[in-house]
Amino acid sequence: MQITAAVAPEPGAEFVLEAVELDEPRADEILVRVTAAGLCHTDLITKDDPRRREPIVLGHETTGIVERTGREVTGVRPGDRVVLSYRSCGACRSCAAGDRAYCARARRLNGSGRRPDGSPTLTWRGAPLGGSFFGQSGFATHALATEDNAVRLDGAVDPLVAAPLGCGFQTGAGAVLNVLRPPPDGSVAIFGAGGVGLAALLAARAIGVGTTIAVDVLAERRELALRLGATAALDPGEGEVAARIGELTGGGATHAVEATGLAPVFEEALAALGTTGMLAVVGLGATSARLDLRDLLHRGKSVRGCIEGDAVPQRFIPELLALHAAGRFPLGELVTAYPFADINRAVADQRAGRVLKPVLTW
C-alpha cells in the first residue's frame, strides 16, 4: 500500500516527506495507522550516522490504531489503540530471564532495517528502503509492527503523552524505578535534564525520593526541573558539580542517572556519588571514559548500564500510565506537538533546546 513517510535520505540530510510503498502485513504482523510519534535522540543519531548506507524511515515512539492483523495475531485486533516500543525475541536466555531489553537478537530485530528474515517492509523509488526501525518505523502514516512490541492503550490516554513511553520516557523512568530503586530517604542526581532525564526526575518524585537534583547546561531545563519538583537544579558551567551535590546530600548522592552520553559528564556523575552510591548510564554517545578505580573500590560505588529502562513494555508502560492518571507522573509537561510536515523544525527546536520532547502528529 502507498503511504507517506518522513525519509532520511542520507546522513546529515533533512527529512523529506515522500510517498513510499509499505508491505501488506504478514501472518505475525499488525498494520497500525499512526496517530503520533515522539522524536528521540536515537532517531537523530541514526539519521546522521556516517556509516548508514541507505535511506531509512525512523521513528520508534509511536502510537496508533490497529487497522489490520495477520492470521497468527491474537493479542490485538483492528480498532485497538496501541503504543509501539522495542522488539525482543522472547526465546533467548535474556528474554527468558525477563531481561527483554538485552535480547540476544535485539540488533536484528530493532536496527537492521529489515525484517528478521532480511526482507524489507518498505520500498521507495523502486528500491528497498530501510524500515522496521525498532520493529515499527513510525515516522509515517502507517507502520508494520508485531504483538511483541505493541502495548494496548485505554481509550482515554492522550497519544501525545503515550508515544514517548515507547522509548525515552520508559528509559528515564525505568532507570529509577527498575534499576536504581532509591528509598525515600535517598537522593537522585540526574545529569542531563532532557526528556529522558526529566522522566527520571518525575519517577523519583512519584515514589517520594526526598532529594532530587537536576544538572543541565540550559537554564530553561533547569527551571522546568524546579517546577517539576526538583530539590535543586545546577548549572555545570559554574563548576564543582560533585562538590555542590555533596553539600546538598550530606556526602554525595545515593543514586545518579547519566543521560547525556558525554564522557566528562559520566565522570562527574560518578564523582558525585556518595559511598556505595549507584550510577545508571542511559545516554547514548561516548564509547569510553575514565574511571577512578580507587574511588570505585574504596567507596563501594557501582555503575550500571540501562537500556529501555530495563522494562518489559507490556507491564511497565501501563504502570507509568497509571501513575500519570493519578497525577503523580505529569508527562504532559514534557511534550510539544508538531505536525509531521514540520518534522525538520521539530528537530531544530529540540537540538537548540527550545523544546524538550517533540511529538509529531498527522
Judge contact between 144 and 31, C-beta under 8 A.
Answer: yes
| 263-305 pLDDT per residue, tens | 999 999 999 999 999 999 999 887 888 888 888 999 999 999 9
Write out the DSSP string of 234-267. Answer: E-GGGS-HHHHHHHHHTSSEEEEEE-S--HHHHH
Judge contact between 5 and 137, C-beta under 8 A.
Answer: yes
| 133-146 pLDDT per residue, tens | 999 999 999 999 99
Write down all domains in the chain, each with its CATH number in brackets.
2-168+310-361 (3.90.180.10), 169-307 (3.40.50.720)
Is residue 19 very low, low, confident or very high in pLDDT (cuts 50, 70, 90)?
very high
- pLDDT at residue 156, rounded to an integer: 86
Percent of the chain with pLDDT over 70: 100
- pLDDT at residue 284, rounded to an integer: 84
- pLDDT at residue 10, rounded to an integer: 95
Write out the DSSP string of 168-237. Answer: HHHHHHHIIIIII---TT-EEEEE--SHHHHHHHHHHHHTT-SEEEEE-S-HHHHHHHHHTT-SEEE-GG
- Mean pLDDT for 198-208 is 98
Count of residues in the chain: 362
Strand 232-234, strand 2-8: pairing: unpaired
- Mean pLDDT for 73-81 is 96
- pLDDT at residue 292, rounded to an integer: 87
- pLDDT at residue 282, rounded to an integer: 97
Q: What pTM was computed for the model? A: 0.96
Q: What is the DSSP letter of 11?
A: T
Cell numbers found for residue 323: 501513575
Is residue 186 very low, low, confident or very high in pLDDT (cuts 50, 70, 90)?
very high
Is residue 349 very low, low, confident or very high in pLDDT (cuts 50, 70, 90)?
very high
- Mean pLDDT for 161-187 is 97
